[in-house]
C-alpha cells in the first residue's frame, strides 16, 4: 500500500517509521528530519490510505474533503473531531454516554464562572473550550491563579476566541494513563497503554506542556483495566456519537486519571498522542497499515494489534524557553550518533534546515525512543542517546519512567 501521513511532528515521524515496515510512505508536509517528506498538499497526493496526525486539520474538515474525493482516510470528520475542538461539547458527549468524568461547568461570563470557582475545593482546573495547542489548561491550588486564568481566557487575551468559552472542572488527583483506541465507527480496539509526563520539569514541576516524555507498557494498566475502559467509555462514546449521526473512524485518545474513587476520563483527543505514539507504535509487532485501513473502511473485522513483550521509553528534547517562547534556529549536534545507539529511534518534531544542517524549528524538537526487554534498559538506552545530542539551551526531563506507576 502507498500511505500518506499528514503532519509534521514526532508523532508523524513515528507513524511513518512504523507504517514503513510494511508499506511505502509519504509524509506531508513532514520536516527535514523525516524521510519521505514532501511539500505537496494532501489533496494532490495519490495514496491508498491517508492518516491524518494533528487535531487542527481534523477539526478543519480535511478528512471530509479527502473522503469526498473518494480517498480512504483514517481520522474523524469535522463532526467527530469536535470532541477535541470543543471541550464543552466533549463533556456533553461524555455525560450523555454515561462515562465517568470530572464534574464541570461551562461558562462564557466572568461573574458566573467566578461564582462556580467558589464552589470548588482546593484544586482549581480551568480549560479553554477551543484548541490551544495543549496549553489552555491551568491546574492550580492557587485561587488567584485560577481567577487570572478565567479573566485572561474570557477576555480573549490569552488564547483568542479559543478561550472565550471555558470549562471549569473538579480537580482530580492520581496517576494518569493514555489509551489510544482505533475506531471503525462501530467498534474499537485498544493499543498498548502509555503514560506521558505533561509538566516541563523533573518531579512534575513547572508548566504544562504538550508532553515531555512517555513510556509503555504501564504496570497499572492491566488487560482488565483496558477492557473495562473499552466497555465503559470508548464503546458507549461511539454509540453516543452514532446517535448523533457521527461515524467516527480514527483514534479516540482517552486521557484517564486513576482517582482514589476509580478511573475517570479527563479528556478525549481525536488523534494519536504525542509523545505516546513514539512509545506505543514502535512496540507493535503486527501491521499498522492494515489495521488503520480496516478502521478507515468502517470494519475492523476482528483485527487485533499485537505488541512485543518489551518496553519503550521516549524523552522529549525541547528548545530553550519552551513552552513559553521557544528559541529556534540552533544547529542540532549528535543526531546520527544518537540514532546509532542500539534499540534507539530518534523522531524529528520541530526540526528545520539551514545551510544543509538540521536546526531547531519548534518547541519540542526531538523525541528519543529507547526500546529494551524492560523499562530500565529502554530508559537507559533513551538517555544514552539523549546525552549524545546537543544544541544551545536544549532541555529535557531526567526522570521519565524513573518510577513506572504500578
Ligand atoms: P487536558 O488537556 O484536558 O488533558 O489537560 C491537561 C492535563 O491537565 C491533564 O493531563 C492533567 O494532568 C491535568 N488535568 C486536566 N483535567 C484535570 C482535572 N480535572 N483534575 C486534575 N488535573 C487535570
Ligand atoms: N501527550 C498528550 C497529547 O498528545 O495530548
Tell me the C-alpha distance between 373 and 41, whole Å.
40
User: Which residues in 188-342 belong to E strands, given as ranges?
Assistant: 188-190, 195-196, 199-201, 205-208, 213-216, 249-259, 262-269, 311-318
Q: Is 339 in the pocket of ligand 2 (CB under 6 A)?
A: no
Strand order in the sheet with 176-184: 188-190, 176-184, 249-259, 262-269
Q: Strand ranges (DSSP E) for 171-248?
A: 176-184, 188-190, 195-196, 199-201, 205-208, 213-216
Mutate to test the pocket of ligand 1, among 259, 267, 275, 276 (most ligand atoms within 8 A of CB): 267
Domains of the chain: 2-77 (3.40.50.20), 109-164 (3.30.1490), 176-296 (3.30.470.20), 311-386 (3.90.600.10)
For residue 87, the ligand 1 atom closest to its alpha carbon is 3
The average confidence (pLDDT) of the chain is: 95
| Portion of the chain with pLDDT greater than 70, in percent | 100
**pLDDT at residue number 396:** 98
Task: Please give the Cα distance from 76 to 109 (Å, whole number).
Answer: 31
Report the alpha-carbon distance of residue 2 to residue 40 in Å, rounded: 15
Reported as a pLDDT band with limits 50, 70 and 90, residue 132 is: confident
User: pLDDT-derived band of residue 141, with 50, 70 and 90 as boundaries?
Assistant: very high
| pLDDT tier, 406 (very low <50, low <70, confident <90, very high otherwise) | low
For residues 104 and 91, the answer to whether their CB atoms sit within 8 Å is yes
288 contact partners, CB below 8 Å, separation of at least 6: 15, 18, 19, 21, 22, 281, 305
What is residue 133's predicted lDDT score, i.e. its pLDDT? Answer: 76
pLDDT score of 122: 87
Q: What is the mean pLDDT of residues 83-98?
A: 94
**DSSP-assigned letter for residue 157:** T
State the sign of the Cα–Cα–Cα–Cα dihedral 155, 159, 165, 171. Answer: negative
Helix (H, G, I), strand (E, B) or coil at 88: helix
DSSP 232: I
End-to-end CA distance of the chain: 39
- Which stretch of 32-36, 118-122, 312-316, 352-356 has the lowest confidence by average pLDDT? 118-122
Which ligand 1 atom sits closest to the C-alpha of 170? 19
Q: Which ligand 2 atom is the nearest neighbour of the CA of 274?
A: 4
- Nearest listed ligand to the Cα of residue 120: 1
Q: Which atom of ligand 1 is nearest to the CA of 173?
A: 21
Run of H or E including 64: helix 62-68
Segment 251-303, tens digit of pLDDT? 999 999 988 888 899 999 999 999 999 999 999 999 999 999 999 999 999 99
132 lines ligand 2 (CB under 6 A): no
Please state the rounded mean pLDDT for residues 38-46. 97
Cα(210)–Cα(174) distance, rounded to whole angstroms?
19
Residue 46 has a pLDDT of: 96
* Set of cell numbers at residue 393: 539551551
Q: How far is the CA of 172 from the centre of ligand 1 (A)?
A: 8
What is the residue with the minimal CA distance to atom 19 of ligand 1?
171
Mind listing the pLDDT tens digit for each residue in 293-305? 999 999 999 999 9
**3-state DSSP helix/strand/coil percent for the chain, to nearest 5?**
30, 30, 40
Question: For ligand 1, atom 1, which residue shows the shortest CA distance?
Answer: 267
Q: Which ligand has the minimum distance to the alpha carbon of residue 126? A: 1
Least confident of 10-19, 30-39, 74-83, 128-137: 128-137
Q: What is the mean pLDDT of residues 318-322?
A: 97
How far is the C-alpha of 130 from the C-alpha of 165, rounded, in Å? 8
Position 110 scores a pLDDT of: 92
Q: pTM for the full model?
A: 0.95
pLDDT at 405: 75
Q: Which residue has the cell 475506531?
A: 183
pLDDT of residue 135: 77
Amino acid at each position: 500500500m502507498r500511505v500518506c501521513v499528514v503532519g509534521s511532528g514526532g508523532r508523524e515521524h513515528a507513524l511513518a517509521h512504523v507504517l514503513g515496515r510494511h508499506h511505502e510512505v509519504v509524509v506531508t508536509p513532514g520536516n527535514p528530519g523525516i524521510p519521505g517528506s514532501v511539500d505537496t498538499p494532501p489533496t494532490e497526493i495519490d495514496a491508498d490510505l491517508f492518516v491524518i496526525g494533528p487535531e487542527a486539520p481534523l477539526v478543519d474538515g480535511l478528512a471530509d474533503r479527502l473522503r469526498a474525493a473518494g480517498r480512504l482516510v483514517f481520522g474523524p470528520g469535522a463532526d467527530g473531531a469536535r470532541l477535541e475542538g470543543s471541550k464543552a461539547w466533549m463533556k456533553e458527549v461524555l455525560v450523555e454516554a454515561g462515562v465517568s468524568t470530572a464534574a464541570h461547568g461551562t461558562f462564557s461570563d466572568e461573574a458566573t464562572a467566578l461564582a462556580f470557582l467558589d464552589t470548588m475545593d482546593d484544586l482549581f482546573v480551568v480549560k479553554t473550550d477551543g484548541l490551544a495547542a495543549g496549553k489552555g489548561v491551568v491546574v492550580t491550588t492557587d485561587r488567584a491563579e485560577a481567577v487570572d486564568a478565567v479573566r485572561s481566557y474570557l477576555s480573549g487575551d490569552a488564547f483568542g476566541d479559543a478561550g472565550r468559552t471555558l470549562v471549569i472542572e473538579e480537580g482530580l488527583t492520581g496517576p494518569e494513563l493514555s489509551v489510544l483506541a482505533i475506531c471503525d465507527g462501530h467498534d474499537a480496539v485498544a493499543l498498548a497503554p502509555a503514560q506521558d509526563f505533561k509538566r516541563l520539569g523533573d518531579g512534575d514541576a513547572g508548566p504544562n506542556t504538550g508532553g515531555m516524555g512517555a513510556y509503555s507498557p504501564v504496570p497499572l494498566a492491566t488487560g482488565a483495566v483496558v477492557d473495562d475502559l473499552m466497555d465503559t467509555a470508548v464503546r458507549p462514546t461511539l454509540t453516543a456519537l452514532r446517535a448523533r449521526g457521527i461515524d467516527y473512524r480514527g483514534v479516540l485518545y482517552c486521557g484517564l486519571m486513576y482517582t482514589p474513587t476509580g478511573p475517570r476520563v479527563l479528556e478525549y483527543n481525536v488523534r494519536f498522542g504525542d509523545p505516546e505514539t513514539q512509545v506505543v507504535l514502535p512496540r507493535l509487532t503486527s501491521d499498522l497499515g492494515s489495521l488503520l485501513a480496516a478502521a478507515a473502511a468502517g470494519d475492523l473485522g476482528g483485527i487485533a494489534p499485537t505488541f512485543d513483550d518489551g518496553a519503550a521509553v521516549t524523552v522529549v528534547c525541547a528548545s530553550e524557553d519552551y513552552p513559553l517562547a521557544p528559541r529556534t534556529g540552533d544547529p542540532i549536534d549528535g543526531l546520527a550518533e544518537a540514532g546509532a545507539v542500539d534499540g534507539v529511534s530518534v523522531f524529528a518534531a520541530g526540526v528545520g534546515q539551514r545551510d544543509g544542517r538540521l536546526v531547531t524549528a519548534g518547541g519540542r524538537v526531538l523525541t528519543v525512543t529507547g526500546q529494551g526487554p524492560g523499562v530500565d534498559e529502554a530508559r537507559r538506552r533513551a538517555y544514552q542517546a539523549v546525552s549524545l545530542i546537543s544544541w544551545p539551551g536544549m532541555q529535557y526531563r531526567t526522570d521519565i519512567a524513573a518510577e513506572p506507576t504500578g
